[in-house]
Structure 1
Amino acid sequence: MTLTPQWLDELRSRVTLSTLIGRTVKVTRAGREYKACCPFHNEKTPSFTINDEKGFYHCFGCSAHGDAIRWMTDQRGLSFMDAVKELAAEAGMEVPAADPRAAKKAEEQASLRDVTQAAADWFAQQLGSSNGAPAREYLAKRGISEATRKAFGFGLAPESRSALKEALKKFPTAMLVEAGMLIAVDDKEPYDRFRGRLMIPIRDARGRVIAFGGRILGDGEPKYLNSPDTPLFDKGRTLYNLDKASPASRQTNRIIVVEGYMDVIALAEAGIADAVAPLGTALTENQLGMIWRMVPVPILCFDGDSAGQKAAMRAAMRALPLLRPGFSLSFATLPAGQDPDDIVRARGATGFTEILEGAQPLVERLWMHEVAAGPLTTPEERAALKSRLLAHADAIEDADVRHHYREAFRERLDALFARKTPERGPRQPWTPNAPRGGFGGGGRRFAPDPRLQPPADETRSIGQAGISAPYIAALIGGLLRYPEALRRNEEALTRLPVSDPGDAELLGVMLDSAMCREGLDCEGLLAILEPMKVYNRATTLLRADGMHFSFNRRLESSDEAVAARETALRDLDEYIGVLVTQPEIRERLAQATADFQRTMDDEGFARQQKLYAMDKELTRRLAALSENSSQ
């Protein structure tokens, strides 16, 4: 078995070293590299660096150094061939067969770069000849300078079926076919693939010509033609201009993905060098991995027309399963009917940069796409929107990122479909430790971990099951006795899940009444409710003294009643806080439990246990309130 240097270089280029090492060592990003505590010697301060672009690791403490293959042999203890086979299987490469014919074929494949380079030189010569005048005129009209033309290696394929074949006759015809320069159909004589086209070399990450793109001059189809996949060129694993954009991105800390190579070249003409483009396909997983090696959040800048936006969404869908903490995509949308060339011609590099600065995060792009997908007037349409958004979140493999996407979508859904409420007085946000007179009442004993408090608008969806009827009855009975608690607890009460429609209506009327009238007492509240259908339910709850809470008991006119009233108000404020928080915590606990069942990791277990302890503490507080009231 012969493993040529070219084959091994290709293998190394297909392996993301930080990902490989990160399977066994905790790595963290440090600028354009990664750092970790060295696995080859004991250390507390990381001195082990990983450089994905150069494909090596190095420890400044013990001088350990190597590439992906060396990592597999030194850290995993594999033999050289076993390391190569395992990496090749992951990279989708076939290990050369162990026979002389395979070795000879590997050598022939390595020489294919000589073919493509010779073709690039000949195409460039043709562009500079008298035959190239129309092509040079076209480039001038596109605003492409001679310097840019030479930097990108523009050339010309004459309108001939045999000109290139004749020019490269020193190479075997079979090799020209294998390199994608000739087309062989059945038993017919092979002929030139590219004819009457402006030629653009496609280079690998090391700047070596591996394929071509050709734009037709004049009318005809297809407008653009790329080389076929060859032993040198895999369009799903290649990004146009990667060799130039990678060093440029180190200066800008940015990478821009545009739709085609002419977009890349137009941006380069305007002085924007950190742009790449796929080659006739939607972004693939491998291409996403390549751009994520350069920056954690690349900018996708596609045309504003329907085709461009469809391409953006295809890229978003492809990226979702691959998202991990810190790594995502952002989307800059060009005006409809315009491409990067139009923007830089009209507004210059500054105008294009302004568009990039307005790029949307991936989560926002998904949200806007789904909201605009159809009407949202019926419950079924709204439910469908929620289902589509949560399906996007569930496509994410990383548990933490998936959790935060679900939370983000819920926040947006709650804000979009929030119940409209009448204008009320100033709202005071509920906090677990609010001072006396604030929302939640003074002296509150209930103080859950503030890190676990969900946002106010985040969890209206939990009202599907609601809180059990006895607890709601006790709450409304207490609020009827102490209407002053309505005003200062308005924010919490409006997001309380009440399953019974009658009780929900009664509570809503009580809130509206309290917001319109300051200093409202029990008799005044009952007078407002008397003409309404909810009045009978209100009087029933007010007479129910069997509920074991201090705020449900009648108070007599005595000195002791003053202290009992203060206790009842304090307990009622705490009771509201528990009722609002516990369903929200339980929903998060259910999600954390589901996530832990999928990931079975320590972090997921810790999150689940923390939420479980929170739920248990809330249950204990409810019991304590009931016990205190019965003493």
Structure 2
Amino acid sequence: MAYPRSFIEEIKNRVSVSDIVGQKVKLTRRGREFVGLSPFKNERTPSFTVNDEKQFYHCFSTGKHGTVFDFLMETEGLGFPEAVERLAARAGIQVPAQDPRMQEKEEKNASLIDVCEMASVYFKTRLGGATGREAYEYLVKRGLDDKLIQSFGLGYAPADRVGLTRHLRDQGIADKDIIEAGLAVQPEGRSDLIDRFRDRVMFPIKDSRDRIIAFGGRALEASVPAKYLNSPETPLFHKGRVLYNFAKARQSAFDTKTLLVVEGYMDVIGLARGGFNNAVASLGTAVTEEQISLLWRLVEEPVLCLDGDEAGLRAAYRVIDRALPLLKPGYSLRFAVLPQGKDPDDLVREGGAEAFNNVLERANSLIDMLWERELAYAPYDTPERRAAFSNRLRKAVRQIEHMDVRKFYGEEIKKRLDALFDPANRNTQANGGHSYGANYARQKSSGTFYKFKSGASAEARRSALVSGAVMLPPREAMIILGFIRHYNQLLAHLSQLEKLDFVTDDLKSLRDAIVDAISHNAPLDSGGLKGHLIGIGFENLMTRLEQLPDARMLDFVRPESDPEDVVSGWLDAVELQHRLITLTAEKREAETDLAADTTQENFERLMAIENEISTLESKTLN
């Protein structure tokens, strides 16, 4: 709604910017202003200023600037009306009366919110009683304790067909309000009501102002057709515009600069049990445009946590199409694909916070997911198919409405297409491979360094996304596979393999298993080593290694290669891996030094390291 200018000015005059900012930022007075560390970016020296006389704040490190209303909207994800209400209450002044029709609607909604609050109390009381024992035990089996149950307001709807209706009637609530709040239904041809939720664990759903507006119920009886049931659309509740746990996750999202988007209630609660209080759920539907806008009120790049199955991948692809038109500078989405058959609750319960953090660290950008989607859609091994592939990507880019974002997406897609369709890489395209982002190892037969192919087939890439596995860096993968296939020739160099660093956890684990097998088992041949690794759970990873294009092309990996070429090629690849890992660590250190002390010397050191990495990764050596 529009507020009178005099009302807004009155709030600004009564509530100082420094009082509100000071609740989140440690401020120090400097002359007529206050200074502090930016709440929007990690920094070591203060660049954030507050001026109460001019009634604004300014962040020099991010360029963000605004009034006390803007600060609440930026840091707590509030809409303008919510920020006005919050500050008016703090100032002790009444919000002006609205248009009579709007005021009537607000009063009606407030009445329905009261009904939902009464229902929540009823459900919580039943969970703590004898009739709710089975529901309580279900929650305990899922790893919840009393603190979590109370924190999320969980309850139980008894199997009684009219238990809640009877309770609300006793409180003086009219039948029409019970129905309008989505708590009961009136079957056709009958005069009485029936409770919508029966024999279910109940999850209250709140709006952005932390008010209960709806419920979700999880059936305890396995034979019930709908395992989860949400409230219907009501004057309060529109499923596509609400995110479960939004109000509760707001502060943690701001503090961590991260917001996690999961599918269901238990995923949110399970993550909270593991210390992740910055999770929301899309209530079982694909994320909508309205929900994306809500997410961006809290953070610039929320992470969607996807189930590692076909349905999860399809949901991600639908979100891409919905997000593309909305993209704006700094605002996007990332996608973390969970291991197949696992949800966030499973990961945290079985592996703790570290297991879930490992998944988040491998989150894909939106442009990477778009690229992978189109790679997996169809082959591109003929000119016509390459043209179709290119057209699909360009059509997707044209959906982006913001001119600058569309421009940079177009440039990035063109760069990837040029790399993918480079004639030098054409020999891998029948298998869907490409050499976008190359690595090298010596190919002895030609006396030159061979360019690793950085992708598997489109289907293999797609499978890796669905299974939650990271794509295997080709150089690392071939070092491992070469050792397994040529165990007898390379056994003398086991110490180099043992000391070598890998960036991929899957390959680290496989390397450790190889070293362990050789150290603790009777002498093995190559077949025996492979059989042992398959027997202890590495069959899928071994299959992925052998399906990579390089496995058929590199002398030191191919089974039929000359033993001398195997040893020299493998040692060259190991040397390159070690050098690049070392340079990457030096680059991180140089970046830290430059951030702490912006001198020409530190800048030149970083540039020199980056140039050396670029030379190793992009230049064919003779």
**Normalising by structure 1, what TM-score?**
0.54
| More deviation, 281-290/412-421 | 412-421
The answer on 1:395 being equivalent to 2:399 is yes
Give the secondary structure class of the aligned counterpart of 2:424: coil
CA 1:41–1:334 in 2, change beyond 3 Å: closer, same or farther?
Answer: closer
Task: Please report how far the alpha carbon of residue 108 of structure 1 lies from its aligned counterpart in structure 2 after TM superposition.
Answer: 3.0
Pick the aligned partner of 1:174 from 165, 173, 176: 176
Contact 1:165–1:191 (CA under 8 A) maintained in structure 2: yes
SS at 2:415 equivalent? helix
Give the letter aligned to residue 173 of structure 1: D
- How far is the alpha carbon of 1:206 from its aligned partner? 2.3
**Aligned in 2, Cα 1:174/1:376: closer, same or farther, shift over 3 Å?**
same
Deviations 1:600-628 (A, max 9, x none): xxxxxxxxxxxxxxxxxxxxxxxxxxxxx
2:333 counterpart letter in structure 1: L
**TM-superposed deviation, 1:403:** 1.2
Q: How does 1:359-508 map to 2 (within 5 A)?
A: 359-420=363-424
1:324 to 291, 311, 328: 328
Instruction: Verify the 8 A CA contact 1:35 1:48 in the aligned structure 2.
Output: no
Pick from 205, 210, 214 the counterpart of residue 211 of structure 1.
214
Which residue identity is paired with 1:202? I
The Cα of 1:177 is off from its aligned counterpart by: 0.7
Q: Secondary structure at the match of 2:263?
A: coil
Q: Which structure has the larger Rg?
A: 1
Q: Deviations over 1:272-302 (max 9, x none)?
A: 1100011232212221111111111111111
Contact 1:332/1:359 (8 A) holds in 2:
yes
Residues 151 and 137 of structure 1: CA distance in aligned 2, closer, same or farther (over 3 Å)? same
For 2:360 and 2:447, the matched residues in 1 are separated by 41
State the Cα distance separating 1:197 from its structure 2 match.
0.7
Question: In 2, Cα distance between the equivalents of 1:32 and 1:299?
Answer: 18
Is the CA contact (8 Å cut-off) linking 2:57 and 2:67 kept in structure 1? no
In 2: Cα distance, 1:35 partner to 1:173 partner: 55
2:66 alignment partner in structure 1: 48
Q: 5 Å matches for 1:262-411?
A: 262-411=266-415
8 Å contact 2:127–2:133 — kept in the other structure? Answer: yes
Structure 2 vs 1, CA of residues 308 and 296 (structure 1 numbering), >3 Å: closer, same or farther?
A: same
State the Cα distance separating 1:235 from its structure 2 match: 1.3
* CA deviation profile, 1:300-347 (whole Å, cap 9, x unmatched): 111111111111111111110011111111111001111111211221
1:347-389 per-residue CA deviation (whole Å, 9 max, x = no partner) reads 1111101110111111011101110112222222211111111
What's the secondary structure of 1:319's corresponding residue? helix
| Residue 135 to residue 53, structure 1, CA distance change in 2 (3 Å) | farther
- 8 Å Cα contact 2:123/2:155 also seen in 1: yes
1:310–1:43: structure 2 CA closer, same or farther, 3 Å change rule? closer
TM-score by length of 2: 0.54
Match of 1:254 among 244, 255, 258: 258
Partner residue, 1:197: 200
Matching residue of 2:142: 142
Name the CA shift for 1:395/1:329 in 2 (closer, same or farther; >3 Å).
same
What's the CA shift for 1:392? 1.1
Structure 1, unaligned runs of 5 or more: 9-29, 58-65, 72-83, 85-94, 428-631
Give the equivalent residue in structure 2 for 1:121. Answer: 121
Matches of 2:315 and 2:354, distance apart in 1: 25
Looking at structure 1, the residues matched to 274 and 111 of structure 2 have their Cα atoms a distance apart, in angstroms, of 36
Residue 406 of structure 1: CA displacement? 1.2
CA-to-aligned-CA distance 1:550-596 (integer Å, 9 cap, x gap): xxxxxxxxxxxxxxxxxxxxxxxxxxxxxxxxxxxxxxxxxxxxxxx
Which letter does structure 1 place at the counterpart of 2:414? R
- SS at 1:370 equivalent: helix
Cα distance change of structure 1 residues 56 and 391 upon mapping to structure 2, 3 Å threshold: closer
Measured in 1, the distance between the counterparts of 2:180 and 2:241 equals: 18
Give the share of equivalent positions with the same residue, in percent: 44
For residues 432-482 of structure 1, give each alpha carbon's deviation from its aligned partner in whole angstroms, at most 9, with x where no partner exists. xxxxxxxxxxxxxxxxxxxxxxxxxxxxxxxxxxxxxxxxxxxxxxxxxxx
CA distance 1:352–1:2, change in 2 (3 Å):
closer
Q: What secondary structure sits across from 2:282 in the alignment?
A: coil
- How far apart in 2 are the matches of 1:385 and 1:321? 20
Structure-2 change in CA distance of 1:53 and 1:284 (3 Å): farther
Residue 79 of structure 1 corresponds to none
Contact 1:203–1:241 (CA under 8 A) maintained in structure 2: yes
The number of equivalent residue pairs is 371
Counterpart CA distance in 2 for 1:148 and 1:399 is: 46
Distance 2:285 2:246 in 1: 16
| C-alpha deviation, 1:107, in angstroms | 2.4
Give me the whole-angstrom Cα distance separating, in 1, the residues matched to 2:309 and 2:73.
39
Whether the 8 Å contact between 1:288 and 1:319 is mirrored in structure 2 is: yes
Q: CA deviation at 1:41?
A: 10
Over the residues paired in the alignment, what is the CA RMSD in angstroms? Answer: 3.7
Q: CA deviation at 1:162?
A: 0.5
